[in-house]
Amino acid sequence: MKEYKVIGKSIRRLDAWEKSAGTGTFTTDIYLPGMLFGKVLRSPYPHARIKKIDTTKAEQLPGVEAVLCYKNSTRVIFNTSATMTTTVPPMKPVLDQYIFDNVVRYVGDEVAAVAAVNEKIAVQALELIEVEYEPLSAVYDAKQAMTSDALEIHSDCPAGKNIPGEIIHLEMGNLEQGFNESDLIFEEEFKLPIVKQVQMETQAAVAQVSIDGSITVYSTTQTPHPSAQILAHIFQLPVSKVRVLNPPYLGGGFGVRIGLSGKAEAIATELAMKTGKPVKVVYDRKEDFIASDTRHGGYVTVKLGLKNDGVFHALELKANLNTGAYCSFGVEAAGVLGAMGLSVYRIPHQVYHGHSTYTNCTPAGAMRGFGNPQAMFPIESVVDMAAERLGMDAKELRLKNIIKPGDKWVLPYPCKSSGLPECIEKGAREIGWNNRGKLNKPGDKIRRGIGMGVGTHVSNSWPFCVDFSNALVTIKSDGTIKVASGVVDMGTGTKTSLAQIAAETVGVYDMSKVSVTLADTESTPFEIGSHASRSCYTAGQAVYLAAQDARSQVLEYAADYLKERMEYLDIKDGVIYSGNEARISLAELTEYAHLHNKQFLGVGKVVPSNAPPWEAHFAEVEVDTETGQVRVIKLVAAHDVGKAIHPVIVEGQLEGGLVQGMGYALSEEIRYNDKGKQLHDGIHKYMLPTAEDIPEIKVILVEPHDPSGPYGAKGVGETSLVPTAPAITNAIYDAIGIRFKEIPVTEEKVFKALYK
Amino acid sequence: MKEYKVIGKSIRRLDAWEKSAGTGTFTTDIYLPGMLFGKVLRSPYPHARIKKIDTTKAEQLPGVEAVLCYKNSTRVIFNTSATMTTTVPPMKPVLDQYIFDNVVRYVGDEVAAVAAVNEKIAVQALELIEVEYEPLSAVYDAKQAMTSDALEIHSDCPAGKNIPGEIIHLEMGNLEQGFNESDLIFEEEFKLPIVKQVQMETQAAVAQVSIDGSITVYSTTQTPHPSAQILAHIFQLPVSKVRVLNPPYLGGGFGVRIGLSGKAEAIATELAMKTGKPVKVVYDRKEDFIASDTRHGGYVTVKLGLKNDGVFHALELKANLNTGAYCSFGVEAAGVLGAMGLSVYRIPHQVYHGHSTYTNCTPAGAMRGFGNPQAMFPIESVVDMAAERLGMDAKELRLKNIIKPGDKWVLPYPCKSSGLPECIEKGAREIGWNNRGKLNKPGDKIRRGIGMGVGTHVSNSWPFCVDFSNALVTIKSDGTIKVASGVVDMGTGTKTSLAQIAAETVGVYDMSKVSVTLADTESTPFEIGSHASRSCYTAGQAVYLAAQDARSQVLEYAADYLKERMEYLDIKDGVIYSGNEARISLAELTEYAHLHNKQFLGVGKVVPSNAPPWEAHFAEVEVDTETGQVRVIKLVAAHDVGKAIHPVIVEGQLEGGLVQGMGYALSEEIRYNDKGKQLHDGIHKYMLPTAEDIPEIKVILVEPHDPSGPYGAKGVGETSLVPTAPAITNAIYDAIGIRFKEIPVTEEKVFKALYK
């Protein structure tokens, strides 16, 4: 195996200086000459018709330059997420919202917006807008929204009342036959909470409009190119006249800004169009909670049929997700839930049937894992129940049934690699799996338990969504490298990883000589953006190909210059070698080339394959049987990452995800009161795990190398929380013998279960 | 001949809206958060050593954040122009200046710079800098600077005292034999003035420095990519970490900012590095006059040998140009003077011998025509003298001797086309050449005269300088087009012309669907920049190739989609045709392609050829024999432009150049007093022609099509003033019988000549 010089090394991150010095520019730091500030009036009702709206007084307030509402704003129907540019035919995108409408469908829905010379005046102006609402009945539960009592939140839903888009149906084998042939059948329904990304930086945008019809939008989007397409659609502009860019820093995403950042870009742009001045819109934290996408909660049913020897034989998975008032990724999330849920175990007879349902909650959309955590908490709970019934070790039952490379599965791309058995064995060793069942003495008030869960994920969104990448790699006249890619570095280290791929591929190991431009539709070729764990795998592959192209151009030129056959030449550490002989430095050659009218400009284009990352999570917990409090003692995450381009970055991704998964299991939830108001609409009300809650974490990287990714890498970002919740709930079961079919497993729920 | 749909049409300029509404952003409009203002202390002496400099008081002034002088600034020697990145080996670039040095070499030379929170404080701080100078003897004339009396302004000039770089020697045939075989020989020396570009926008830059070592510079440069290379050199940074961009508008150039804009970028950058804050440096008009490049003045000698039948047989051309205190393009300007001077007429025996010479004047560099006007005033004067002596019509003598396509010439690229005979004939008809000699009655106090001059030029700087282009053409998911090129639109309409080339080539005729990004090293591939009349010819060719590439990708995809052979397909007006049948709109196909993971991204790379534009200028003048005043009545400019992509833009270029040529002939000059101070250092002192002076102008476009340029286009920008001065001075001779060998031919000079 070739020894890499840059790949696999945890080099200093390219954003380290600016991040640590606090000098990096984020969207909120953008100030343009003459810039106005935009603020949004949001609905206090979960469902209402606007009978009357009068903006006169607001308009008359000195310092106010524009007020928008449904009466004077664009009437193009759209989708805030990438759906409309990423829905693969023959599926049709769900277009169900305007910037402002005369019906509001959740508490927080946009009613009007103001642009003023400062934020204070903008806020004052909001208070002067007079709105008369006719309240309509509201519903907050995905099942209830389908009943005959519920109002239609959006009409014309052909798949069923309040069901956006279509129902996802996946099938393999013959389900009826499968269950008929099964010796044991388990069927359980699970309830999933609505949770929030709570990324560091709230949704924000600064829009600037030129008199020639072109627009520039600094934005917190994770996907600048698709965002530009959505804005072009909303404002009926040529895509070539819409520039969207990160400025360049972005404080997290976790899926919350695939496509638009809430409606920040759209509102800022329309206010800029109305006023002719730049407009900044920054969501405060409460707005971010109530008016930008959550993770889908809802209901998932698992029906698993097994043979007496533990071989899985039939699986029926059903889902009804709460997509809130508008469908951003409601169809896709239901799709990924099914596709991932069916792809962990080798089961000959399988069916998935799932959809999302409109309610009067905040819209749900993409969040790290994108449906997959919602699948694996139920599935991995049922697998543990089956193991118990069969009297089998839960680890062994999994090892017996997991997919192997080459197995037939429901996914339309092959499984070429799996490090899952190794993940399971290594993780089990690390958590001390063999002590399971031996941790407690009779009468212990604090009871310990160990649990596990496994899962897979994707390395990009193909073939569920449109997914492709282009990249440029230029070798400058001084032999230094510039990489251009349209993905975003949300803080995940993408910039650094892409630089490593380019550096290793060209053969320049001094990272001070590699620069990367990201996330600007003007400076980078089209790229679907940062989501679906794809930045390293797919954008990385485009960078790899572009770097290969640039390298080939250099070697071809060097062959001519050195009078040597190209196949004898190599670039190592910025020097061109013929065999073992250093012939000329890359800097000298590129300067010579420049002075002879030659630029090395590599182009990489990727229509990606996909590759399954695999993960096994293990948890050790303590349950206080007097209070119901659950404390996680240790988390072990063993991950097949293909190849860790930058191990510290990968470990950081996994550690962060584990904590997010722990919050999903134990504490995080957005609930609504009967007026449709979020009860947890701020960081102090929403129960994120904090530093104090973080247990010992052990990350184990398994690197089987997948042939489709750059240097064998697979997607990582989302895998880190897929089976965390079931690992923890299975550990709780191990500790106290109570099976929770609803998360988060709060202290209150445990207490009630213990003492009901 | 194919009928074009966009090429050759005077469509609305892409910058029309922003320019006419006044909303376009220029460098001076850039305001960044926390930005400081930089001001420069300039030498009051033409030549002096700095004995002592004390910046303490300036540093202590509240609001001052940095003071730079030679003691605390970078000591990398450089060249403000592109020389260092564009000098073709084996020639070596002349590196002769620092940002600040302890010797000052002209009045205006940089002594120190201040960054402060506002301009007022910065100016106050300059006054607090204490400098003690030791004056040195100075010289302002190129001949005097070579004498033994003169001080060395720069030591180590191997080509001769105060001669930067090398002496240009061009030779064809055998000069001695040529003169021996000639029947008539004319030898005359001419004196050329120093003139100024007086572009609308003064030199300016705003620099922003990141803690990670990368820099971004908004700038008035004409050549962003080479500027980035120069800044990388000065500050010893990787080129890949230096971004230079226009913001995007630029108010003229005329060559004054090839490479850096004076030193605006360098000073702003170093102040930004010292303070950690963005710094803006904007030259005021006086600074722009005294401290940014002028056109070379100096001496040119023409020795022409002819046969009795008027056939030119031998030409010796010599030049000594005044390059001022530092050599920006001193070597290249001398080179182009010779190369162009030798390439208008078919002369078997030719020699050119020329160089520039350091003096204590403001540095001279590039200005529209770049040495060529300095060649053609002398040559075309001598040609007229010869015609008179031979008793031949001056037009016929020219027609007899001009180069024809295929003729051997001194240039290393072929002459593939010449519309010069047509230019001469059409121009002569328009001016009423046949009336020459019949315009005045004896005793007329106001005497009329007609004169002409011819010339050629280049369409780019190859092979005199490094010269190549890359461009990208993307066809977006809605079928609209984005062009990316690193050239600059200085106001010349380049953006529009490049859009036309892309539109015609792809087959999209609705120009609202075409956008162009220029002049940003981050958003565009390497491109040597806007100079040498090359933007349309060379960058246009790169855009043409990129558009061809993108079009081919579309047609290949369409062939597959439509199940049709690619060669039957065509794109017309945004629709894909099979033969005459419209099959699918480009927008539908590109949307389909997008939804199936395909982006059309065309790359164009050009190592250019070169092509000679040709021009014949005609002037009719009135000379008031009582006052000496010369009034130009009419100018006719007949130009072989290859193909006018946008006729109104071409005509605008030619009209503007004609007026600039008229100023060169009659009024413009920068002179120095004996203390080295410019006597004409402001718009109110420098005798630019104004609207009142502009005569009737008739532009005639001749379009022979040159095979090497896009749609047959050649360079145009500089040709417009090449033979204007001799056309006017020859007309003056026709009017009053006095031959001026020094321009400008001011009223005073004419009066003195009439009454000496």
What CATH number is attached to the domain comprising A515? 3.30.365.10
Give residue B642's region: left, alpha or beta (phi > 0; psi -120 to 50). Answer: left
3-state secondary structure at position B180: helix
Q: Residues of chain A with pLDDT > 70: what percent?
A: 100
Identify whether the C-beta of residue A103 lies closer than 8 Å to the C-beta of residue A49: yes
Does A284 lie at the interface with B, CB-CB under 8 angstroms?
no
Identify the domain boundary among B564, B587, B606: B606
pLDDT digits (tens, 9 = 90+) for B5-57: 999 999 999 999 999 999 999 999 999 999 999 999 999 999 999 999 999 99
Residue A468 forms contact with B (CB below 8 Å): yes
Question: A594 pLDDT exceeds 70?
Answer: yes
Per residue in B400-451, pLDDT (tens digit) is 999 999 999 999 999 989 999 999 999 999 999 999 988 999 999 999 999 9
Mutation target vs A (from B470, B599, B603, B610; most A CBs, 10 A cutoff): B599
Least confident of A126-130, A257-261, B430-434, B462-466: B462-466
Distance CA(B34)–CA(B13), nearest Å, equals 35
pLDDT tier at A436, thresholds 50, 70, 90: very high
CA neighbor of A302 nearest in space, from A345, A270, A244: A345
Q: Indicate the burial class of A747 (C-beta count within 10 angstroms; 0-12, 13-18, 19 or more).
A: middle
- Beta strands (DSSP E) in B560-658 are 569-572, 575-578, 581-585, 600-606, 614-624, 630-640
Chain A nearest C-alpha distance from B410 (Å): 21
Q: How confident is the model at residue A1, as a pLDDT?
A: 54
CB pairs under 8 A between A and B: 157
What are the φ and ψ backbone dihedral angles of A103, each rounded to 5 degrees?
-120, 135
Are B699 and B635 within one domain? Answer: yes
Q: In angstroms, rounded to a whole number, what is the distance separating the alpha carbons of residues A675 and A749?
A: 24
Q: Identify whether residues B261 and B369 lie together within a single domain.
A: no
Q: Which among A557, A572, A606 is the end of a domain?
A: A606
> Does A472 share its domain with A442?
no
Cβ pair B363, B324 in contact under 8 A: yes
Cβ atoms of A591 and A559 within 8 Å: the answer is no
Which residue in chain A has the smallest CA separation from B592?
Answer: A89
Q: What is the rounded CA–CA span in Å between residue B584 and residue B507?
A: 13
Q: Do A599 and B526 touch (CB under 8 A)?
A: yes
Same domain, residue pair A215 and A77:
yes
CA torsion sign, B737 to B742 to B747 to B749?
A: negative
Run of H or E residues at B496? helix B494-506
Say how far residue B619 (Cα) sits from the centre of its chain: 23
- 3-class DSSP string for B254-273: CCCCCCCCCCHHHHHHHHHH
User: pLDDT digits over A668-695, tens only?
Assistant: 999 999 999 999 999 999 999 999 999 9
Q: Tell me the Cα Rg of chain B.
A: 27
> Which residue, among B597, B598, B600, B606, would best test binding to A if mutated, counting the most A CBs under 10 Å from its CB?
B597
Residue showing tokens 């592109």: B82
**Number of Cα atoms under 13 Å in the Cβ half of residue A321:** 40
- A23 contacts on B by Cβ (under 8 Å): 210-211
Q: In which residue are the tokens 């003071």 written?
A: B67
Q: Is the preceding omega at residue B248 within 30 degrees of 0, hence cis?
A: yes
Q: Which residues of chain B have pLDDT under 70?
A: 1
- Number of structural domains chain B divides into: 3
Phi, psi dihedral angles at B167 (to 5 degrees): -90, 135
- Best of B476, B489, B603 to disrupt the A interface (most A CBs within 10 Å) is B476
**Mapping DSSP to helix (H, G, I), strand (E, B) and coil, where does residue A625 land?**
coil
From the CA of A241, how many Å to the nearest CA of chain B?
6
CA dihedral A539, A542, A546, A551 (to 10 degrees): 90
CA distances from B521 to A15, A470, A523 (A): 21, 19, 9
Domain containing residue A39: CATH number: 3.90.1170.50
Please report the residues numbered 415 through 434 in chain A whose beta carbons come closer than 8 angstroms to any beta carbon of chain B.
none
Q: Which pLDDT does position B1 carry in this prediction?
A: 54
Question: Are A645 and A743 contacting, i.e. CB atoms less than 8 angstroms apart?
Answer: no
pLDDT at B83: 84
Q: Is residue A711 part of a domain?
A: yes
In A, which residues are within 8 Å of B87 by CB distance?
Answer: 595
Residue A184 lies in a domain: no
Chain A positions touching B517 (Cβ under 8 A) are: 522
> What are the backbone angles phi and psi of residue A594, rounded to the nearest 5°?
-55, -45
Kindly state whether residues A441 and A541 are assigned to the same domain: no
CB pair distance less than 8 Å for A211 and B478: no
Cα B447 to Cα B735: distance, rounded to the nearest angstrom: 5
* Whole-number Å distance between alpha carbons of A620 and A728: 7
**Closest CA relative to residue A507, chosen from A587, A563, A562:** A587
Residues in CB range of B445: below 8 A, 6 or more apart: B624, B625, B626
| CA-to-CA separations, A99 to A80, A211, A237, A697, B740, in angstroms, rounded | 9, 22, 16, 44, 72
- How far is it, in rounded angstroms, from Cα B622 to Cα B126? 50
Do residue B481 and residue B455 come from a single domain?
no
> For residues A491 and A497, what is the distance between their CA atoms, to the nearest angstrom?
12
Domain shared by B209 and B307, yes or no: no
In a domain, B151, yes or no: no
Q: Looking at this predicted complex, what is its ipTM? A: 0.95
| Residue B493 and residue B433 share a domain | no
Q: Given CB atoms, is B478 within the 8 Å cutoff of chain A?
A: yes
pLDDT at A289 over 70: yes
Tokens of B698: 């008739």
pLDDT for position B756: 83
User: How many C-beta atoms lie closer than 10 Å to residue A14's C-beta?
Assistant: 24
The residue to which tokens 């929204």 are assigned: A145
In the chain, the amino acid numbered A340 is M
- A655 CB contacts (<8 Å, ≥6 apart)? A637, A697, A699, A720
- Do A240 and A308 share a domain, yes or no? no
Q: In whole angstroms, what is the distance from residue B287 CA to residue A45 CA?
A: 63
Query: How far apart (Å, rounded) are the C-alpha atoms in residues A560 and A578?
Result: 13
Q: Give me the mean pLDDT over the A14-36 stretch.
A: 95
The SS3 assignment for B308 reads coil
Q: Are residues A744 and A627 in the same domain?
A: yes
For residue A44, count CB atoms less than 10 angstroms from its CB and return exposed for 0-12, middle for 13-18, buried for 19 or more. middle
Name the nearest CA neighbour of A710 among A532, A540, A495, A458: A540
Question: Looking at residue A662, what is its pLDDT?
Answer: 98
pLDDT exceeds 90 at position A630: yes
The pLDDT value given to residue A347: 98
Is A515 in Cβ contact with B214 (below 8 Å)? yes
Asked, for residue B429, whether it belongs to a domain, the answer is yes
Chain B nearest-CA distance from A478, in A, is 7
Closest CA to A536 of A502, A503, A494: A494
Give the per-residue pLDDT at A608. Answer: 86
Band (A108; pLDDT cuts 50, 70, 90): very high
Residue B236 contacts A where some CB pair is shorter than 8 Å: no
Query: Which residues numbered 680-709 in B keep a CB inside 8 Å of some CB on A?
Result: none
Please give the share of chain A, as a percent, with pLDDT higher than 90. Answer: 97
Establish if A80 belongs to a structural domain: yes
Instruction: Kindly state whether residues B274 and B304 are assigned to the same domain.
Output: no
pLDDT of residue B84: 83
Tokens 């106050």 correspond to: B124
The confidence score (pLDDT) of residue B437 equals 86
Is residue A98 assigned to a domain?
yes
Asked whether A705 and A697 are in contact (CB, 8 A), the reply is no
Mutate to test the interface with A, among B86, B240, B596 (most CBs of A within 10 A): B240
Last residue of a domain, one of A570, A587, A606: A606
Residue B705: its pLDDT value, please? 83
Q: Is residue A228 part of a domain?
A: yes
**Torsion on CA atoms A739, A743, A747, A753, rounded to nearest 10:** -30
| Largest Cα span, chain A | 85
Q: Looking at the DSSP assignment, which residues form a beta bridge with residue B386?
A: none
Q: Per-residue confidence at A83, pLDDT binned at 50, 70, 90?
A: confident
User: Among B490, B681, B715, B529, which residue's Cα sits nearest to residue B610?
Assistant: B715
Tokens linked to B646: 């946008």
Domain that holds residue A303: 294-462+610-755
CB B266 within 8 A of CB B229: no
447-466 of A, contacting B, C-beta below 8 A: 462, 466
Beta strands at B36-42 and B279-282: parallel, antiparallel or unpaired:
parallel
CB atoms within 10 A of CB B674: 8
**A115 lies in the same domain as A242:** yes
Residue among A669, A713, A714, A683 at smallest CA distance from A297: A669
Residue A602 lies inside a defined structural domain of this protein: yes
In chain B, the percentage of residues whose pLDDT exceeds 70 is 100
How large is the average pLDDT for residues A652-680? 97
Residues A184, A390 contacting (CB under 8 angstroms): yes
